[in-house]
Amino acid sequence: MAEITTVPFGPQHPVLPEPIHLDLELKDEKVVRAVPSIGYVHRGLEKLVEKRDFKQFIYVAERVCGICSFGHGWGYAKAVEGLMNIEIPERASCLRTMWHELSRLHSHLLWFGLAADAMGFESLFMNAWRIREIVLDIFEETTGGRVIFSVCKIGGVRRDINDTQRKEILEKMKELRKEIQQMAMVFLYDNTIQSRLEGVGVLSMNDAMDMGCVGPMARASGLPVDYRMAEDEGFYKKLHFHPVTETAGDCLARVKVRLGELTQSIDLICGCLELLPEGAIEAPVRGLPPAGEYFTRVEQPRGEALYYVKGNGTKNLERFRLRTPTNVNLAALVKMLKGCELADVPNIILTIDPCISCCER
């Protein structure tokens, strides 16, 4: 009878863009149990809400994560706006939606590059990141930043786009669509990728539901959960779309969902630019956050993120709390790793697209 061997995986590993540590208990090459350990880069950002006033803290919130920074700034702003009963202008809502979908493109393209690199496709990795540069160029042109944008504020947005920029972004979206379609052919039809991902890391619909999975991880198991479909979710209610879903629940299904979301995000960005309303880009913010609490959600690239704020009538909030998608999906990761081959562990970890920076706030 084979003995159980404990093998440390991470926090430094070629496939991990961020530090996560797993203790893998193995019988020969089979994973019997995986025990995750996080906490290497804990920064105490939530505590800073007591030392920065409610307008300043948005700069801290968007630094929770560099990849989905706009979404974190938006989630915090939505929570404070709800607490203060501020209704933002329609144009600001449209611009926020556009930038958020650009962030989804940025995040998914970055992830595809890392996934390709993990499987030894160096040229595909470089091509995915080359395509991503188109998105970052749009960010730089419209916000002034490439990773941290600081364009979202309480009451609206700080920057507007003119008609010339609107037309240029629409043209770049056409270029981006062609590039993504070419890249997708490799991911969907290459024999090596198929053999490494198909039937690996399967998560059933029932398990995804029981564990409360969110984002592409849930949608790849057949759950059509997407907070963008909510009635109160800003400008999304004017953009008619349905969540991208797959039913296999394996690593390949999660790849297919993200590929589908890339083209879907392009459609949503084009929809925002075509329907861009006239008017102001910010609403006046008067007074201080009242005593009370407010809770809201944002569909981040990795899934639904929850934002909670508590005011006490002063300029500094009493509490800010954030639950990120990776916090939820780690439990499902542990379940998927049980019984898999040791060689499949890196790919299974990568296909949940973990963001440890978001977890360790």
What is the distance between the alpha carbons of residues 128 and 114, in angstroms, rounded to a whole number? Answer: 9
DSSP state of 64: S
Q: State how far Cα 276 lies from the chain centre.
A: 24
What is the distance between the alpha carbons of residues 149 and 159, in angstroms, rounded to a whole number? Answer: 10
The answer to the question of whether 68 is labelled as a binding residue is yes
Q: Which residues are CB-contacts of 111 (< 8 A; sequence separation ≥ 6)? A: 258, 350, 353
- Contact between 255 and 244 (Cβ < 8 Å): no
What is the distance between the alpha carbons of residues 295 and 82, in angstroms, rounded to a whole number? Answer: 8
DSSP state of 233: S
The answer to the question of whether 272 is labelled as a binding residue is no
What is the distance between the alpha carbons of residues 96 and 104, in angstroms, rounded to a whole number? Answer: 12
152: three-class secondary structure by DSSP: strand
Q: Is 138 exposed, middle or buried (0-12, 13-18, 19+ CB in 10 A)?
A: buried
| Cα separation values, 27 from 23, 191, 201, 338, 344, Å | 13, 29, 18, 11, 15
The answer to the question of whether 46 is labelled as a binding residue is yes
Which of 11, 13, 110 is CA-nearest to residue 66?
110
| Cα separation values, 210 from 203, 205, 302, 353, Å | 11, 9, 18, 20
34: three-class secondary structure by DSSP: strand
Which of 239, 257, 262 is CA-nearest to residue 247?
257
Known binding positions: 46, 65, 68, 322, 355, 358
Known binding positions for Mg(2+): 46, 322
Known binding positions for Ni(2+): 65, 68, 355
Known binding positions for Fe cation: 68, 358
